[in-house]
Amino acid sequence: MDECSSEIGSSSNGASGHSPGTLTEASPQKGPATDDDCTSLQSLYEKYSTQQKEIERLEEQNSEYREKLLRTIRERDLNEELLRNVRETQKKEMSEFEKRIRDYEIQLKAVQERAAAQEAHYNVTMKDLSQKYNTSVAQLTKKADIAEKEKNDAVIKYATREAEIMRIRNEIQKKEQELVECHKAKEELQHSQGQENIEQLEKSNNNLRVELEQVKHEKFDLENKLKMAEKRAEACNTTATELKQQNDVLRKQLIQMKEEKSQFQEENRQLSLKIQILESRRMHESEELSRSQQDLEQKLTEANSHCARLTDANREMNTKLEEVTRENLDLMNKLQDLEDKLSLEEEAHAAASIEITRLQDIENQVQSSRKQAQRAKEAEEQAEKEREVAENEAEECRQQAERMLAITEQLTERNSQLAGEVAAEREKTVSRDEDSAQSAQASAETNAIQQVMIDKIIVLQKKLARRNDKIEFLEEHVRHCLEELQKKTKIIQHYALREEASLLLPSDGSLDKVRNFLTFTFFHGKLRLVVVSMWNSFLSSTSVKQFTIDLLLILYCAAYQLQLKAVNRLNAIQIRKLTSEPHGHSPVQAYPLLLIETTSATMFLPNYMNSLAIVLLLQVPLSRKGASYSLMGSIFTAGSEKRSLQLATEVNSRLQAVLEDVMIKNITLKSSVDSLSNEVSRLSRENRQLTLAHSRCAEQRP
């Protein structure tokens, strides 16, 4: 059809192409118009009209053919759909029939197997029961025969025993008669025979008595045996009745088994009939299916002609489908890659969530440590304020002491002058009573003023002695603390040289945090500038061991600064207590209490150092600075929580050992401070006694 339409199109195009040519050719020939031209034009016009009609006819035929083609395509589609539906229904029916046949076959096999198994079971049970029955019947018959034999034997024995008993009774009667006769003969012979006959008769009588007793014993034994035989006979009768009952029960069971066997045989027959019916149905259905299959095959042959044209389109669709499947495979691969990435991201997210929880715990610890540091800062500020107040009070006390010293010097000068004047007046005016009385009154007044001033001087001397003792004690304590600090620095240097100290190098980002934390928390003024310069110097150094040593020195400097602050605070408290005599104690009694408070404050330092170390460990994350730092840097950067925990516990144990050493030394310091307090109290008592003796001597002087 396409070829025809193309030819028609070409012919129409040719006709249309000739028409303008003819017109153009005819146009220049209008002038000399002749009959030939008119006839040629008419012929051409007729040809054109005929060709035009032919074209219209061909177009109509083409449209009809197109409609027929569309109808055939629709019919083909409908037939394909019908064929598909028929195939699907046929497949479904075939699958259903196959399923039914399989189910029926399975049921048939199951029923046959069940029937065979039941029949075998019943045969086995019947054989077992018959064997049991036969064996039990044989055993019972044997037992019955044995019982009958025993019974007969017992009866025979009983009869023989009865005969023997009768015979023995007869013999006894005979013997009794003989005995009576013997008695009679004895009585008769008593008169006639002698003593020998009597003895013989007595012996024979005794023998007869013995025989009679033996016969009685035998009779008793025979009666017992007879009773035993009767009991055995009764037992045999009971066993025989029981065996008969069991035999009846077994017979009933056998009858029931036979009935069940007949029932199962009937069921088997019914199932075989059902199977035959199902097989006939299956044959009929298979015949119907074969007929329908033949019809469908005929339809399939008719549809194959239509399907042959669709093979090309199907091939094209298959190629497109292969391309689409390839694209789908690519997309599936991409999807698998994305799923793998998603799983990796989920694992990373889970690890990150775990890390976030761990960091939150660390942050909570850091916050708690910061709160402790804030409390320490507040306590430090309060101690600074108290120290300033104590310094002011100490300055006032110094000024007052200087004033009192100046007053005492003036009074001593005035006293010496007055003493010289009194001596001169005594030498000049010995005779003048009035003048002497006036001079006596003046000397009494001066003595009273002098006594008051001496008391004030004694009090001030006591205060100065206590203050000097306290200053000496604090200087000794500071010197001892410096010695301990030097020893600890040596220990730390030895430890840093002995261990691989480069493994505890913190990261660069956290060093500024440590510097700010240390300088602004524990140091003030010039000491803060010194610590900052020391920090910058060891940051610029390349020696990692020196870095660790300097860092630990700064930590111990911070601890020493805290200790000095505590001592200054205690100094202020002590001065306040000395001036105000707290809790009703005398200054001499309050001084040992203050020493104990000082030692308790120094004992507090190791725990504070422990919290400081924990804060620094929380604020300074360890990092790996190079390939040579193999142990701790690799562990803390590898992400192994177990290994890092082990290392942290090891470091904590070593720090705990150092802290225990410090605690032991502080305990020794406390004991030495206690001994010093006792010595100071003793010296204060001696000083007081000396001052009292000095005052008494001064009073006793004229």
Please report the pLDDT score of residue 602 as a whole number. 42
User: Averaged over 171-190, what is the pLDDT?
Assistant: 75
* Residue that wins the pLDDT comparison between 106 and 365: 106
What is the phi/psi pair of residue 622, to 5°? Answer: -75, 145
Q: Which of 122-126, 200-204, 223-227, 535-539 has the lowest mean pLDDT?
A: 535-539
Averaged pLDDT score across all residues of the chain: 67
Q: What pLDDT shows up at residue 422?
A: 61
Q: Select from 233, 265, 290 the last residue of a domain.
A: 290
* Residues contacting 691, CB < 8 A, separation 6+: 458, 461, 462
Is residue 508 pLDDT above 60, yes or no? no
Note the pLDDT tens digit of each residue in 675-699. Answer: 777 777 777 777 777 777 777 767 7
Residue 541 backbone class (left: φ over 0; alpha: ψ -120 to 50; beta: rest): beta
Cα distance between residue 232 and residue 43, in whole Å: 151
The residues, any chain, with a CB within 8 Å of residue 369's CB and separated by 6 or more, are 611, 614, 615, 618, 619
Same structural domain for residues 73 and 182?
Answer: no
Q: How confident is the model at residue 13 (pLDDT cuts 50, 70, 90)?
A: very low
Q: Could you give the CA distance from residue 238 to residue 575 in angstroms, rounded to a whole number? A: 122
pLDDT at 274: 78
Concatenating the DSSP letter of every residue in 262-311 gives HHHHHHHHHHHHHHHHHHHHHHHHHHHHHHHHHHHHHHHHHHHHHHHHHH
Query: What span, in angstroms and rounded, lies between the C-alpha atoms of 75 and 72?
Result: 5
Same domain, 47 and 113: no
Find out whether 604 and 590 touch, Cβ atoms under 8 Å: no
Query: For the residues of 552-595, what is the DSSP string, one character each?
Result: HHHHHHHHHHHHHHHHHHHHHHHHHHHHH-GGG--HHHHHHHHH
Beta bridge partner(s), residue 622: 506
Q: Please check whether residue 522 lies inside any domain of the structure.
A: yes
Please indicate whether residue 494 or residue 344 has the higher confidence score (pLDDT): 344
Q: Decide if 432 is inside a domain.
A: no
Residues 144 and 192 in one domain: yes
Specify if 378 maps to a domain.
no
Find the range with the poorest average confidence among 387-401, 586-600, 655-669.
586-600
Q: Does residue 657 or residue 611 have the better pLDDT?
A: 657
Residue 333 lies in a domain: no
Mean pLDDT of 449-472: 75
Would you call 630 helix, strand, or coil by DSSP? coil
**Assigned domain for 375 exists:** no
pLDDT tens digits, 110-151: 777 877 777 777 778 777 777 877 787 788 778 778 877 877
* CA dist list (Å): 340 to 172, 326, 330, 351: 123, 21, 15, 16
CA-based angle 640:644:650, to the nearest 5? 155
- Beta bridge partners of residue 506, listed in sequence order: 622
pLDDT reading at 313 higher than 50: yes
Are 69 and 173 in the same domain? no
Q: Is 355 part of any domain?
A: no
Q: What are 614's two structure tokens?
A: 């924990």
Domain range holding 276?
Answer: 98-290
pLDDT of residue 64 exceeding 80, the answer is yes
**178 & 208 share domain:** yes
* Residue 178 and residue 282 in one domain: yes
Residue 510 shares a structural domain with residue 559: yes
Average pLDDT, integer, range 187-201: 67
pLDDT 10s digits, 474-499: 777 777 777 776 776 676 656 555 54
How many other CB atoms are there within 10 angstroms of residue 373's CB atom?
Answer: 19
- The continuous run of DSSP H or E covering 454 comes out as helix 433-498
Domain boundary among 50, 78, 106: 78
The rounded Cα 116 to chain-centroid distance in angstroms is 57
Last residue of a domain, one of 290, 305, 328: 290
Contact 386, 569 (CB under 8 A): yes
The pLDDT value given to residue 303: 64
Question: What's the maximum distance between 2 C-alpha atoms anywhere in the chain?
Answer: 226
Residue 702 has pLDDT above 60, yes or no: no
Angle at 401 between CA 572 and CA 464, to 5 degrees: 65
pLDDT digits (tens, 9 = 90+) for 588-637: 333 344 443 444 444 444 444 444 444 443 334 333 333 333 444 444 44
Domain count for the chain, please give it. 3
Exposed, middle or buried: residue 85 (CB in 10 Å: 0-12, 13-18, 19+)? exposed
Residues 131 and 66 in one domain: no
Please tell me whether residues 7 and 144 are part of one structural domain: no
Three-class SS state of 46: helix
pLDDT at 60 exceeding the cut of 80:
yes
Burial (0-12, 13-18, 19+ Cβ within 10 Å), 604: middle
Q: Is the pLDDT of residue 554 over 70?
A: no
In the predicted structure, residue 319 carries a pLDDT above the cut 80? no
Confidence of residue 578 (pLDDT cuts 50, 70, 90): very low
pLDDT digits (tens, 9 = 90+) for 267-304: 777 877 877 887 777 788 778 777 776 777 777 677 66
Nearest to 249 by CA among 132, 141, 142: 132
How far is Cα 90 from Cα 87, in angstroms, rounded to an integer?
5
Quick check: is 695 in a domain?
Answer: yes
Question: Would you state the pLDDT for residue 337?
Answer: 79
Range 378-392 average pLDDT:
70
> Rg (Cα) of the chain, in Å, rounded?
71
Q: Are residues 173 and 54 in the same domain?
A: no
Question: pLDDT class for 9, splitting at 50, 70, 90?
Answer: very low
User: Is there a single domain that holds both residue 616 and residue 691?
Assistant: yes
As a whole number, mean pLDDT of residues 206-229 equals: 79
Q: Are 289 and 94 in contact (CB under 8 A)?
A: yes
Say whether both 167 and 52 belong to one domain. no
In a domain, 93, yes or no: no
Q: Looking at mean pLDDT, say which of 94-103, 405-414, 675-684 comes out highest.
A: 94-103
Are 622 and 505 contacting, i.e. CB atoms less than 8 angstroms apart?
Answer: yes
